[in-house]
Each structure stands twice: as C-alpha cells, then as structure tokens.
Structure 1
C-alpha cells in the first residue's frame, strides 16, 4: 500500500504495477487505507478507477446514442428524459461519485417540483438501466439505484390552489403588463383546463367554431420530448367560452392549419421557464403552480353549474372520482344549504323548532 503524509492530511496512491492509476487525499490515515483497499480490490476484478472519472453527462450521451438504435422508440423517449430530469449537479460529477444518497435526492427533487409519482418511477427505471450499463462497461463497480425506491406519495389528495374567477382576472391584468401575448395564453389555460404540454402542441387545425367553439386536444408535447398522445391516450374537446374565444381567434391570424396555435409574439414555440420568467410568475402566480390553471378551469366550470359528467369529459378524466375532487374542494349545494341552516337564527324558520312544552 502507498499511503503517505500530505501536510496535515493523508494521500493514498493506487498503482497497477509501476503505473499510477489514481490518488486521493483524506483527513485520516484509516480512511486513506480503506479507500486504497477498495480500489485495489476493484482493480483486481478488472475495474479501472480512472473510468469512474468520466462525468455522468458524458456517459449518458454515449448510452443514449446506443439506446437510440437498440430499443423501441417509446422506450428511447422515456430514456432520453433522463437528460432533462436528472439534476445538473448530478450530471456534472464523476460516475464514481454517485451514491444511493444522490439518487434518492434526485427522486425527492422531482417530486418536490410537482412531477407525478408515476413519472418519477419511470425516471427511476431508466436511471437504473443507465447505471447497469455503466457497471457492464466497467465504469463503476455497482448500480447506485438498486436499493433506492421512489418515496410513496401521501394518501391525501394532491394539493390544489386554483384561482377564483376574480383572482384570475386580476392576475391576467398583471401578466398583460409583462407580456400580453403570454398573458393571453395563460388566461386561455385558466378557462380551458389545457395542460402546458397540450398548449405547446396545439395546432391551428384543432380550433373549431362549429357546432360550438372549442379546441380538439389530440397532441401533447412536454418540454424535451417529441410530440406524443395526450395523457391517457384519449382525444377530447374543450369549450371556448366568450371570454377567451376572441383571444384564440387572434392566435390563428396569418397561420396555416398545421402551424402551432399558441406561440410567442414572434411565432416561436412557447417554453415554460422563459414564459414564467417574462411574466414574473414568482410574484404574479402568488405561490401557485402553472398546473393550477387547469384546476382553475375545472372549478370555474363547476362553480358556474356545469354538470360533473361534462366536466369529466372536458378534463379528460378517466374516472368521475377525479372530477369529484373539485366538488369536494368547492363544496356542494348540500354543503351550502347546511351552512345556511347553521347560520340561521335559533328558533327561526331555519333553526331548531320546539314541538311542545315541558310537562
């Protein structure tokens, strides 16, 4: 073993014959010896520690190049999401530096940003396949994903913070002061329940006014991936109320049927981070997520008396139970009637009645 004093610390040097393979400085001699023993064992098993110095993003690019020609398009699309979803801090370190702790943190970060648990599970599957490939290529000794599970979501209903109709209009006025074009897109989202990926993929041909004004939702394009089917792989029609119909008409001017409908003022495809920055969403969104505009639409429809079954169809919910979440959030007519009785004067027509006298 080669462990030498290096100032107040200890340097361990790994050699293969007379060739220097790797070295690392530690606070204690014991740590240096332990590291050296592990690296020598790995080297004896055919793993060159120098390979672990390759950065994750470089290895990821090589792996994706191979995957593009060896797996189905759908699988490759899911794998390619790693480059978008993996935290930059994770991509920019050496392969040998990735531990189960970094993997777990990446799961927690994605969930905290609002990514669905099912999407994080898919991310984990691709991440595990990537690191398994790294093991086969002898870049690292073991797969850091193997023992790490995606944290289970709470049994409670996902939090939602929809705008009221009045609050949406107030926010719209603030957005217009920043960028009227983008403000119009967000107002349409608040009245139609479109997801951001659906907005990005919507074409002029999807707009129709006969028999009633509406948008056909056929495509979805989350950022970083190709156009794909909508969530649930089903097509749906969403209404265009008079409040936003003129806005959508304006977006069609000068465009061909196959052109994107909702674009920037310059005609380019919209991007989430840029749009939110221009609109100063951190302040004007008042703590909400962009996805809360979809919740806003569902609550607006129900509050205006649209039948829950119709709202289910407009939202594209597979189950009415999902739609009922909004009813629970708003409260039903029975809730309001019950509250009216609680607030009525005692002994009045809505309060407790006495049917006789004490004997």
Structure 2
C-alpha cells in the first residue's frame, strides 16, 4: 500500500515501478495523501524527489553564489540575511522536508525575537525567491512559502507626512534663504515625486519639451551605489507643471546632454547629509521640538507631497500610478485614503446639512422644552 499507518501516524511511500523513491510520515492521512499526490505529479513531470534530499543550507549557498552576479548589490545584501535569519532547524533539514508549517513558524519566531514586521516581509520575499529557484531547478515540486503570509503586527504604521501646497511654498521661501539652488531642487521634487536617488542620477537629456514638458526617469543612483535602473526596473514619464518648469529649464541651461541636471550651486553631485545640513532641515529646540526647516518630515515625504498634490488637483489615480511608477494601484490608493475622496466630501456635506459651523447649531436637533 502507498499509505501505511505506523504507531498512530501515516507513512506515505512514493514508488516508481518496484523502486522506492521517497517516503514521509504525517500526522493525518489527508496530509499523507496530499503529499503523495504532489510527488507523483512531480515525478510524472520529470522531477526526481531524491533531489529534495539536499540540505537547505547547501542549496542556499549555491543559490547565493548565483545571486551575487545576477541581482543588484542591495538585493544581494538582503538575500544574504537568509543565512542569519533562517532557523538552524530549517537550514539542516532536507529541502523536501520544509513545509508551510515550518515557514510560518520561522516568521513567528522572528517577530517574537523583536524583528520589525517590514524586515520579516523582506525576509519572506527572499525566502520565496530561493524556493522558487529550487522549483525551477527541479529540486522541489512546489514553493512552501507561496501560501504563507507574515502575521500582521500591532505596531503603529509609519505614516506619510506630506506637505500641503501652501506648506510647501512656505517651506520653499525658508529654504531659499539657506541655499537657493537646493531650495529649487526640493521644490521640483515636491512637484514631480522623484526619489532622491533618481534626482541624483537625472541627466539634462532626460528633460523633454515635446509633446509636453516632462522628465524621463530612466535611472537611479542611491548614495554609495553605482548607477542602476529605477525601482521596479521600469522607465516612466513625469510631467513638469508650470510651477517648476522654469526652474528645470534654468537648471539645464548651458549644460551638455549627459551632464547631471540636479547639482549643487558649485556643480557637484547631490548628497543627502550635506544638503539637509545646509538647509537646516532638522534642528531641535530646548523643548525638544523640531524647529528645523523640514518640520519633522523626511526628505522622502516630498515624493508623498507630489502624489497628494496631483490627486488633490483631480488627476485620476491611474495616471498618478503611472507618474509615481507604482507597480500596484493599491500603493496609489494609500494617498486616496490619506486625502479622502469626492464621496467623503459629499457625505460630509450631507452630514452638515442644517448645522452651522460654529458652536450654535442652526436647524439642529431640539430638546422637548425648545420644541414647546
């Protein structure tokens, strides 16, 4: 028989003709049958289950040696964390022995150890890519990570803190008193949604005037890294509104096509720390309040500012998604949740019908004494 009950558990045996290929013990007969069905299907598709006898650690080392030369440095660094974060109990077992249960437990252990939920999500992404490679190399029949999600934590989410249009203009006037060139650049970031790395790598040739003024975002250069493709490896076109078009034209004036567009007043490439220092972006007073010109915001909030500015001006979310370079509309919808929608405004208008906006309620509910 293919499934035999032994000592209260169920052992499934996979055979090819009269030859035993693999076996595994399960708590329930249903689990044993499901495993046997998957392994039979894999065997019929050319997968030798004996390949799954390789330890996870050995296969992981082989995969990392390939990733070293096939992915970006930042991605490879994240992949290396698998050696440190994957439980020893999982590293030492055979590939075929890793189930969704072991994967879920690894996530729970990392969260219990104090690792941030976002870090566990990155760990899950690398782990899933690794097991997908195992499937492609016919070491496994299926990816055990695919059906397992990271448990949602109860920590407060790091919210965006964009400038309103008026706040951005007020901040711009303050920045100009510190460094006019940097102030112009940050205003452009607040209207175009460029990431800092994308701004550092932007060339004059990327300024387009036809058919409409825009920036072609093709590459990025995070500090300390070589030039690479943009996040998501996709090119996008970002419009230049009239508010910042003259600034961009001035920044590009008298420069060659392959010169950097956004540079310091001395013509050097941008660096985050020196730029923020010149602008007095972060400074605390005696009461520990942030009185710097950034008013408690991150530089990345300028990207959030652009998305909110576009949506507030009734640009449709699909267009905003394209301008931001979001792979999923769900990312763009975060800004709609932040701003509210036309339906929210209409609902509030209905809620306020007959009620004044001061402390006196015009047409509001009356007490029995008032009614009499």
1:293 counterpart (302, 305, 312)? 302
| 1:72 match | 69
State the distance in 1 between where 2:71 and 2:316 align: 37
- On the 8 A contact 1:108/1:151 being kept in 2, the answer is no
User: Matched residue of 1:276: which SS?
Assistant: helix
Aligned residues: CA RMSD: 3.6
**Is 1:182 the equivalent of 2:182?**
yes
Equivalences for residues 30-45 of structure 1 within 5 A: none
Provide TM-score, normalisation by structure 1. 0.58
Distance 1:254 1:248 in 2: 12
Deviation track 1:45-102 (CA, whole Å, cap 9, x = no partner) reads xxxxxxxxxxxxxxxxxxxxxx99x9416365656799xxxxxxxxxxxxxxxxxxxx
Note the 1:93-242 alignment, pairs <5 A: 117=119, 121=123, 158-242=158-242
Tell me the residue number matched to 2:264: 264
2:338 matched to 1:341?
no
Displacement, 1:319? 1.2
How far the C-alpha of 1:253 sits from its partner, in A, is 1.3
**Long gaps (5+) in structure 1:** 1-66, 83-103, 126-149, 353-359
Q: Distance in 2 between matches of 1:297 and 1:281?
A: 19
Offset at residue 180 of structure 1 (A): 0.5
Q: 1:284 aligns with which of 293, 296, 306?
A: 293
The alpha carbon displacement at 1:187 in A equals 0.2
Local SS of the residue matching 1:257: coil
SS in 2 for 1:215: strand
Pick from 325, 338, 355: which aligns with 1:329?
A: 338
Shift of 1:266: 0.9
1:251 is the counterpart of 2:251: yes
State the alpha-carbon separation in 1 of the partners of residues 114 and 193 from structure 2: 27
What does 1:11-50 correspond to in 2, within 5 Å? none
> For the residues of structure 2 that align with 1:164 and 1:264, how far apart are their CA atoms?
26
SS of 1:273's equivalent? Answer: helix
Name structure 2 gaps, 5 residues minimum: 1-63, 80-109, 128-149, 283-291, 356-360, 366-372
For 2:312 and 2:76, locate their aligned partners in 1 and report how far apart those are by CA, in whole Å: 41
Is the CA contact 1:202–1:217 (under 8 Å) kept in the aligned structure 2? Answer: yes
Deviation for aligned residue 1:342: 1.4
TM-score, scaled to structure 2: 0.56
**Residues 1:306 and 2:315 aligned together:** yes
